[in-house]
């Protein structure tokens, strides 16, 4: 063959149709593989193309000699590393091909490499690529299969049809030829240069008699003297038709259908999956709209600012009256009259200290007190305070009188109702006992208070609101919220209701609040253990896998608030990596509406991708040990088995809370749901939207879907939560994504 430039030889090897960027990739791979075939004249090294010379300079002569060393493949085979390094084994297997078959073998290897390079840009084709590498390697290295190479025509681009025909001609290795046919079938179907033409019908010409006619008419409105006059252009009645609009709508509908059909043909599987999940979410939201509209809350249930002002004025004017005093107490504390009369609310006066000369309502919520080993107690921030509602000093005499009186419940309620009726008649207001006790929680909601904060301040039904279990709130924050409410009641400061200014460092709420430094050290220790296991190589792959599983789970748990359950996150189908969302269903046994869709922080998404790559990587290793082990990993990646599992003695173990707790006992000997306490408190301390935090934690009340038309939260709010959590993971806790691939390949 005459000496020609390397670029021309590429044109001989492959058909036309490659983009410039693709051609450069092909040239690069051809230059790489040309070192294996210097015996072939058509691949002589004396090319005049400068680009090829530059590519050759990237390889030293020693590297070239090693790549062409015939015994190198035998060495890697003897050490049982073929499954661990499929690409490297595929490359060096060319050294085992007989001279008679070398041209065709090199052409096959080039085609496989180009197809793999293009498919690698897309997601979901890793198995096709790796199976094609294995098939090519086996055909090259097994003498009984090498006659198949003689049936391959060199110097052309191969398709699925070529290998199906060879499979019919030769009875050798039909399954290997099928793998190659599958690779080139996917390559031809997914090649980025392929584009489908969309046919759009042109709109028909509108007949002249159907076109709207326009005439000039004087304005029907008289002009002012200094106003500029103008002429109105009006369409003549009777000539306007809607046929043109209907035709355009039809075109748009057909165009949408055509695009959808094209989407189904060429979109990668991950994009199709993302579209399906978004469609399911949209349908579930639409199904809740009607139910939500029937139970909308309106301000008619609550008192207006004007009514509140009248109520405060009347109560302060009659401050010495017991009945008006009880109404004022109900207003400023959010308690009902019945709670005061039944002695469910205890008001005490502090004689000394910061609370001296103030009556105070103290409340200690009944929350779990977790038992743990002694050395773990120092890792937890224990709550040491109690809820304090501080009564203004101007009400001291009133409270002293009320505590001395033995008020009859029925007669007192009737007398208070009479007072309310008189005010409603005099001021045309809508006072009721229920509305008066609801003023404080309604104000706190509008002021951005958390549902747990409101429940703690009201001091009732705490055990019914799950948020109180996970939130450790500063007592000072509750005091400030209450003082802000008192300032709202006394906007002009006429009565001195907001008169407490002292500070406290006490907290109340969750008793399982991990210190931030401890969480930071936990991930640093896990990362160090992963690096340690990585250095030990494949003999410690099970330990490495287990630590990587825990590392990934902890990052995802901090990113989603997932409860510790069996089969956490179920399968890979729960994740939509195209839109960075995850569907959480961790409470199905207790509620049929506990499922929620959350946004993933970017660091968590990156770590999850590393974990999936890790599974694909170890698949070859375990597939050689056992067919069942290889199938288990394959089914996991296909979403047919749970995503996370431990490996012990080549057995895959289901993740359960007990198994995970046993594994983590030396890392962090505290209950597994520590992350839910940690995240909820951290998010509120960093000003996350209260309702968005409830949605994130799965604590939304039973009033409909949180993303329906009239809800108070949207996916944009969860985007902000994900941004805050990414800041927590990457900056505060200094977590680094970890991939086991680095250091495990040659």
Residue 204 lies in a domain: no
**In 3D, which of 450, 444, 458 has the Cα closest to residue 387?**
458
Residues 203, 204, 205, 207: what is their CA dihedral angle, to the nearest 10 degrees? Answer: -130
**pLDDT grade, residue 642 (50/70/90)?**
very high
| CA atoms of 718 and 712, how far apart (whole Å) | 12
One domain for residues 499 and 533: no
DSSP labels for 26-81? HHHHHHHHGGG-TTSGGG-S----HHHHHHHTTS-HHHHHHHT-THHHHHHHHTT-
Under 8 Å between Cβ of 31 and 6:
yes
Encode 725-738: b = buried (16+ Cβ within 10 Å), e = exposed. Answer: bbebbeeebebebb
Token duo for residue 351: 């004689």
Structure confidence at residue 256 (pLDDT): 46
SS3 709: coil
One domain for residues 560 and 697: yes
307-321, 338-352, 670-684, 701-715: segment of lowest average pLDDT: 701-715
Q: Is the pLDDT of residue 444 over 80?
A: yes
One domain for residues 498 and 568: no
SS3 552: helix
pTM listed for this prediction: 0.60
C-alpha pair distances (Å), 451 with each of 684, 701, 703? 11, 10, 14
Under 8 Å between Cβ of 112 and 180:
yes
Q: Is the pLDDT of residue 475 over 60?
A: yes
| CA atoms of 519 and 233, how far apart (whole Å) | 72
| CA atoms of 450 and 694, how far apart (whole Å) | 9
The helix (H) or strand (E) run that includes residue 211 is none
- Strands (E) across 209-346 are located at 214-218, 231-235
Structure confidence at residue 114 (pLDDT): 74
Residue-wise pLDDT for 64-82, tens only, equals 444 444 554 555 555 555 5
| CA atoms of 75 and 489, how far apart (whole Å) | 85
One domain for residues 498 and 522: no
| CA atoms of 24 and 22, how far apart (whole Å) | 5
Q: Is the pLDDT of residue 205 over 80?
A: no
Residue 401 lies in a domain: yes
Q: Is the pLDDT of residue 551 over 90?
A: yes
One domain for residues 455 and 524: no
**In 3D, which of 620, 630, 607, 623 has the Cα closest to residue 548?**
607
Residue-wise pLDDT for 206-254, tens only, equals 555 554 444 444 444 444 445 444 444 443 344 434 334 445 444 544 4
Average pLDDT of the residues in 364-375: 81
Per DSSP bridges, beta strands 380-381 and 347-349 are: unpaired
Token duo for residue 369: 């007190």
Residue 16 lies in a domain: yes
Residue 478 lies in a domain: yes
Looking at residue 433, which CATH number applies to its domain?
Answer: 1.10.443
Under 8 Å between Cβ of 191 and 121:
no
**pLDDT grade, residue 461 (50/70/90)?**
low
| Edge-to-edge strands, sheet with 359-363 | 347-349, 359-363, 387-390
| CA atoms of 240 and 250, how far apart (whole Å) | 19
One domain for residues 716 and 639: yes
**In 3D, which of 509, 452, 507, 495 has the Cα closest to residue 332?**
495
Structure confidence at residue 720 (pLDDT): 92
Under 8 Å between Cβ of 473 and 454:
no
222, 245, 267 - which closes a domain: 267
DSSP labels for 612-651? HHHHHHHHHHHHHH-HHHHHHHHHHHTTSS-S-EEEETTE
Exposed/middle/buried for residue 678 (C-beta within 10 Å: 0-12, 13-18, 19+): buried
Q: Which residues pair with 583 in a beta bridge?
A: 597
DSSP labels for 119-162? HHTSSS-HHHHHHHHHHHHHHHH-TTTTHHHHTSPSSS---HHH
| CA atoms of 475 and 472, how far apart (whole Å) | 9
The helix (H) or strand (E) run that includes residue 91 is helix 86-92
C-alpha pair distances (Å), 542 with each of 275, 538, 648? 36, 8, 7
Residue-wise pLDDT for 625-637, tens only, equals 888 889 999 999 9
One domain for residues 504 and 520: no
Residue 492 lies in a domain: yes
Residue 743 lies in a domain: no
Question: In 334-466, where does DSSP find H-type helix?
Answer: 337-341, 374-377, 396-404, 409-427, 433-437, 439-446, 451-458
Residue-wise pLDDT for 577-623, tens only, equals 888 999 888 775 444 445 788 899 999 999 999 999 999 888 888 88
480, 511, 542 - which closes a domain: 511
Token duo for residue 707: 């993303």
Q: How far is C-alpha 706 from the chain's CA centre? A: 16
| CA atoms of 493 and 483, how far apart (whole Å) | 12
| CA atoms of 607 and 168, how far apart (whole Å) | 45
| CA atoms of 197 and 205, how far apart (whole Å) | 24
List Cβ neighbours of 46 (8 Å cut-off, separation of 6 or more). Answer: 3
267, 287, 308 - which closes a domain: 267
| CA atoms of 300 and 388, how far apart (whole Å) | 30
One domain for residues 589 and 656: yes
List Cβ neighbours of 3 (8 Å cut-off, separation of 6 or more). Answer: 44, 46, 47, 48
In the chain, the number of structural domains is 4
One domain for residues 393 and 456: yes
**pLDDT grade, residue 255 (50/70/90)?**
very low
Unique residue bearing structure tokens 């259908």? 257
Under 8 Å between Cβ of 380 and 515:
yes
644-651 contact pairs (CB < 8 A, 24+): 644/549, 644/552, 644/553, 644/567, 644/568, 644/569, 645/549, 646/545, 646/546, 646/549, 647/542, 647/545, 647/546, 648/542, 648/546, 649/542, 650/542, 650/622, 650/625, 650/626
One domain for residues 242 and 326: no
The fraction of the chain above a pLDDT of 70, given in percent, is 68
One domain for residues 587 and 687: yes
575 phi and psi angles, rounded to 5 deg: -105, 140
Residue-wise pLDDT for 158-197, tens only, equals 788 888 888 878 777 788 888 888 888 887 765 443 333 3
Token duo for residue 185: 């079938």
Token duo for residue 352: 């000394």
| CA atoms of 104 and 532, how far apart (whole Å) | 45
Q: What is the mean pLDDT of the chain?
A: 75
Share of the chain residues as helix, strand and coil, in percent rounded to the nearest 5:
55, 5, 35
List Cβ neighbours of 216 (8 Å cut-off, separation of 6 or more). Answer: 231, 232, 233
| CA atoms of 362 and 352, how far apart (whole Å) | 16
The fraction of the chain above a pLDDT of 90, given in percent, is 25
For residue 686, give its domain range. Answer: 516-732
One domain for residues 559 and 633: yes
Residue 278 lies in a domain: no
Residue 616 lies in a domain: yes
Q: How much is the CA Rg of the chain, to the nearest whole Å? A: 37
């Amino acid at each position: 063959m005459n000496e020609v430039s390397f670029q021309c030889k590429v044109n001989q090897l492959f058909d036309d149709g490659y983009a410039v960027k693709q051609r450069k990739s092909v040239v690069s791979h051809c230059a790489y593989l040309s070192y294996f075939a210097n015996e072939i004249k058509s691949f002589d090294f004396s090319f005049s193309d400068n680009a090829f010379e530059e590519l050759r300079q990237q390889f030293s002569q020693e590297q070239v000699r090693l790549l062409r060393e015939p015994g190198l493949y035998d060495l890697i085979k003897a050490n049982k590393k073929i499954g661990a390094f499929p690409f490297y084994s595929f490359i060096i297997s060319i050294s085992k091909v007989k001279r008679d078959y070398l041209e065709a073998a090199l052409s096959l290897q080039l085609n496989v490499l180009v197809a793999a390079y293009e498919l690698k840009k897309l997601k979901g084709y890793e198995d096709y690529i790796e199976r094609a590498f294995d098939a090519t390697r086996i055909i090259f290295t097994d003498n009984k299969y090498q006659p198949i190479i003689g049936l391959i025509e060199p110097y052309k681009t191969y398709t699925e049809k070529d290998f199906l025909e060879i499979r019919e001609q030769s009875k050798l290795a039909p399954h290997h030829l099928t793998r190659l046919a599958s690779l080139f079938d996917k390559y031809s179907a997914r090649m980025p240069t392929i584009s489908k033409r969309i046919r759009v019908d042109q709109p028909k010409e509108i007949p002249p008699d159907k076109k709207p006619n326009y005439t000039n008419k004087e304005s029907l409105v008289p002009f002012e003297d200094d106003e500029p006059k103008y002429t109105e252009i009006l369409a003549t009645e009777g000539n306007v038709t809607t046929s043109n609009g209907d035709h355009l709508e039809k075109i748009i509908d057909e165009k949408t259908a055509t695009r959808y059909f094209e989407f189904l043909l060429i979109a990668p599987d991950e994009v199709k999956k993302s579209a399906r999940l978004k469609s399911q979410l949209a349908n579930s939201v639409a199904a809740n709209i009607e139910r939500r509209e029937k139970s909308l809350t309106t301000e008619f249930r609550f008192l207006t600012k004007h009514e509140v002002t009248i109520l405060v004025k009347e109560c302060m004017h009659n401050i010495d009256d017991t009945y008006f005093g009880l109404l004022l107490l109900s207003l400023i504390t959010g308690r009902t009259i019945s709670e005061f009369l039944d002695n469910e609310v205890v008001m005490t006066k502090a004689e000394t200290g910061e609370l001296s000369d103030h009556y105070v309502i103290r409340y200690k919520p009944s929350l779990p007190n977790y038992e743990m080993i002694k050395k773990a107690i120092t890792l937890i921030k224990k709550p040491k305070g109690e809820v304090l509602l501080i009564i203004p000093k101007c009400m001291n005499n009133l409270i002293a009188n009320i505590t001395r009186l033995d008020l009859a419940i029925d007669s007192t309620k009737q007398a208070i109702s009479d007072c309310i009726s008189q005010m409603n008649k005099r001021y045309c207001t809508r006072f009721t006992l229920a509305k008066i006790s609801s003023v404080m929680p309604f104000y706190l909601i509008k002021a951005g208070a958390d549902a747990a904060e409101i429940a703690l301040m009201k001091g009732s039904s705490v055990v019914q609101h799950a948020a109180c279990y996970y939130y450790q709130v500063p007592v000072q924050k509750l005091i400030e919220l209450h003082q802000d409410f008192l300032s709202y009641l006394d906007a002009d400061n006429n009565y001195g209701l907001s008169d407490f200014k002292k500070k406290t460092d006490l907290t109340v709420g969750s008793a399982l609040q991990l210190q931030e430094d401890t969480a930071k050290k936990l991930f640093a220790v896990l990362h160090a253990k992963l690096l340690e296991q990585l250095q030990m190589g494949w003999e410690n792959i099970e330990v490495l896998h287990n630590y990587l599983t825990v590392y990934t789970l902890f990052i995802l748990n901090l990113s989603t608030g997932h409860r510790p359950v069996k089969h956490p996150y179920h399968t890979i189908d729960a994740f939509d990596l195209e839109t960075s969302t995850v569907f959480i269903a961790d409470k199905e046994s207790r509620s049929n509406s506990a499922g929620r869709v959350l946004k993933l922080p970017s660091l968590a998404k990156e770590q999850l991708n590393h974990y999936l790559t890790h599974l694909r990587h170890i698949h070859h290793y375990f597939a050689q040990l056992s067919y069942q082990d290889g199938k288990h990993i394959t089914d996991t990646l296909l979403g047919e088995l749970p995503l996370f599992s431990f490996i012990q003695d080549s057995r895959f173990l289901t993740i359960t809370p007990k198994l995970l707790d046993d594994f983590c006992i030396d890392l962090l000997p505290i209950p597994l749901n520590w992350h839910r306490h940690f995240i909820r408190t951290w998010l509120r301390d960093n000003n996350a939207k209260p309702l968005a935090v409830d949605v994130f934690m799965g604590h939304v009340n039973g009033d409909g879907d949180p993303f329906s038309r009239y809800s108070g939260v949207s996916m944009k709010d969860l985007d902000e939560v994900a941004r805050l959590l990414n800041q927590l993971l990457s900056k505060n806790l200094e977590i680094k994504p970890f991939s086991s691939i680095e250091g495990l390949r040659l």
